[in-house]
Each structure stands twice: as C-alpha cells, then as structure tokens.
Amino acid sequence: MASDDGPQEIAALLLLPPPPAVKFEQFKDAYEPSLSTVFSKLCKTLNGVNSIAILDIAISIPGLLSRSSQPRAKIFPSLQHYLANIYRLIGIVSAEHSIELDAPGGIDARVIFVDFPTTSAEDHQTPRHGPILDLQSLANSSRLWDWIYYPGNEAGQHLATAFDSFYSKNKDPNAGSLHSLSNQPSWPPPETLIVPEVKAQSPHYSVAVGGTFDHFHIGHKLLLAATALALEPVEEFDPIPERLLTVGVTGDALLKNKKYAEFLESWDDRCQSTSSFLMAIMDFSLPDRSAPRIERVSQPGPNGHYVLMKVRCGLTLKLVQITDPFGPTITDESIDALVVSAETRSGGAAVNDERAKKGWKSLDVFEIDVLHSGEVPTTDGESFASKISSTDIRRRRMEMATAQ
C-alpha cells in the first residue's frame, strides 16, 4: 500500500500453483503468461509516475513443511533451482516488456514458497517465518495487497480458493480482492517436485553470506533468498531456539577502486536495501505485531561494526561491515554454513582453509545457480546481463549524470 516516505508504492500478490518440472523450459512455459500479464497490469497502474509496484510471488510446492523435508538442508538443492528459475524468468519478462526492476516506475518482485497442497496435520510443521510458509500464515499476515492474482486454470483456482478461505475471514477493509488471470496454460500435476538429498544433512542455525549489494537487483535477491532457505526454521519447543542470518556487506573503504566508484551507494544504503528485502521474504507477522527491534553496534576490531535486527522471537538478522574477504566467517566460530554463487565458490574454500588454521569446524557451503537469461532483446540497447550488474548500473548512472 502507499507509503508516506519515498516513492508511493502499490502492492500485489501472485499465487502460482506447483510448477510442472524443475527444467527451465517447462517452468517458463507454465509461468511466463501469468508473470507477463501481472507485470503489464502493474505497469499500467503505475502509469509512468515515480512509484514502485511491490509484487510478492508465492510458488506453491507440496511437502515443504513435512518432516520428510527436515532439516532444511535436505531440500535446499531442489528449492534453489526453483528460486533461480523464477528470478531468471522475472528478468526475462522485464527485459522483453522493457519494465524496470527495483526502481521507481518499475516492479520490486520478491519470491517465497508455500506448502500447498499441505501434508497431513500429523506430519505438518507450522513455521514462524518465511521464505517457506503455510498458506494460512501468508493469508493472515499483516501484508495489505491491492490485488491478489492467480492463474485461472484448475490448479490456480484450487490454490486461490484455499487461500481465500483464510484471507476472507480476517480481511482488512483496505485490502484488495482476488483476481483470476484468463487464458492461462494448464499442465499435469507432477509426481514429485522435491528430491531430498540422500546423504545425511545437518540442520543449520547460523548461516552467512557476503557481498557488496550495491544498487540492489535480482541477482542479490536470489543470493539472499537462498541464504534464508538454508537457515533452519524456528519451531516450537526447539532445543536450539535461536537462528542467526549473517550478511557481510563490504565496507566503503574496500570499494574505492571499483569502476565508477563515485556512484557507489553508501554502506548504510546498501544495508537498508539488503535488510528490507530479507524482512520482506521472512517476516509475515500478524497485524498486531510490533516493529522489529534494531540495534546498531560499533566496537573496535574486525567485524565490530554491525546492525542487529530482531525479526521475531528466535530469528535475528546481522548485517556486518566487512573489511576483508572473509568477514565474520573467521571471527565467529558459531557460523555453520555459507552460501555462495558458482562464481565465488573459491571463496568458500578459502574461508574453510582459514577456519582450519584456527582449529574450527569447516562450514557447509551451499552453492546457488548462476542467474542468466540467454539472448533477451531489450529496447534500450542494454543486454540483460548489464541489468543485473552493479558495475553497469553505476555506469548508466554516470552517463545519465553526464547527460544532464
């Protein structure tokens, strides 16, 4: 809904039934019509004004909250493929329709998963935070969407009916209603979408990721959402009640030699973008919940400058200003997992080498797919790759400033 500070926002939710397969071609055939239609509707609503359209995309996959999907590390490989697929498709659709992402006049899309159809009550675990939710938690959250869309095929209608059974009971008078998207493809329900890892997996209660996070884009969203997926959800009566998601955000001093450094965002601005996105995919609190508690800490020594955000009981975000390639992974022994992209897998090995020198346990390293689109034409002459490159975004900022 509208915000009093910054560009005015509109908000929408897109409910998507389970995909036909993990393969991108089939994934694209199923979901591209819905995404294209919703993107076009939101942009017409924006009508070129200095606004941002928030779009929560909820992909339903059965069994995500079942005991067979615990610990979360068992299903991470399958889920990260779906996450990479949808962010890749978001990038393709935005490029084909010349729609800005994560900027005024464009769309801020965030992806979560819902367990639907759900498993039996005896086998079902109710989470306390995203990015994996049950349908009731999503419907009863404090989010106020102006529109809720779903594909008008049989699977989409089934999902929407189940969602509305919770949503309509506690609907805010300012909230929007559900809208069916016509002329959407249908596909047979797959036998299985999640293939748990065969080898034994340990739960992870303290997960880390690092990056510059300059001029926030969908590549950053993929990395951060995957990190949230690797973190074990908070459950009642858990013997290890605290979960910590640590994000190392490169300090300004390390970025002086970056290309177009004068157009780099400040550390505070980059932290704000990062934390706002993580809260958007993890905090689905009820309307009566108070705002998260924020604590800023500045201590001497490495990694002593950080921000703590209490998302909810048992879950904390920590944004650390890093001044070297390793960040808190070699100063905080309690971190037990690290998320990297294929391009930065060597960094994970280097971290574990440093931890070994200290006699610490190695981190489990989770790798995500590379976000790429293939050949996607854009009307402004820029390649899709340049749209998700912080360096190219800064270059365009410089060219705009020079032209003025």
Q: What is the pLDDT at residue 2? A: 40
Q: Sort 254 into a burial class: Cβ within 10 Å, 0-12 / 13-18 / 19+.
A: middle
Q: What is the pLDDT at residue 28? A: 96
Helix (H, G, I), strand (E, B) or coil at 209: strand
Token reading at 112:
């979560």
Q: What is the pLDDT at residue 39? A: 97
Q: Sort 386 into a burial class: Cβ within 10 Å, 0-12 / 13-18 / 19+.
A: middle
Q: What is the pLDDT at residue 234? A: 85
The count of other CB atoms within 10 Å of the CB of residue 364 is 18
Distance of alpha carbon 337 from alpha carbon 243, whole angstroms: 12
Token reading at 209:
């990721």
- What are the pLDDT tens digits along the chain (404 aa)? 443 444 457 999 999 999 999 999 999 999 999 999 999 999 999 886 778 999 999 999 999 998 888 899 999 999 999 999 999 999 999 988 888 899 888 999 999 999 998 765 545 555 568 999 999 999 999 899 999 999 999 999 999 999 999 999 877 788 899 999 999 999 998 888 988 887 768 999 999 999 999 989 999 999 999 999 999 998 766 777 789 999 999 988 877 766 655 668 999 999 999 999 999 999 998 776 667 789 999 998 889 899 999 988 889 999 999 999 899 999 999 999 999 987 777 889 999 999 999 999 999 999 999 877 555 555 555 555 555 555 566 565 555 556 55
Q: What is the pLDDT at residue 237? A: 67
Distance of alpha carbon 85 from alpha carbon 371, whole angstroms: 8
H or E segment to which residue 272 belongs: helix 267-282
Give just the sign of the alpha carbon dihedral 135, 136, 139, 143.
negative
Torsion of CA 310, 8, 103, 107, to 10 degrees: 90
Q: What is the pLDDT at residue 173? A: 82
> Checking DSSP bridges between strand 132-134 and strand 147-151, what pairing results, if any?
unpaired
Distance of alpha carbon 292 from alpha carbon 79, whole angstroms: 27
Helix (H, G, I), strand (E, B) or coil at 144: coil
Distance of alpha carbon 185 from alpha carbon 20, whole angstroms: 11
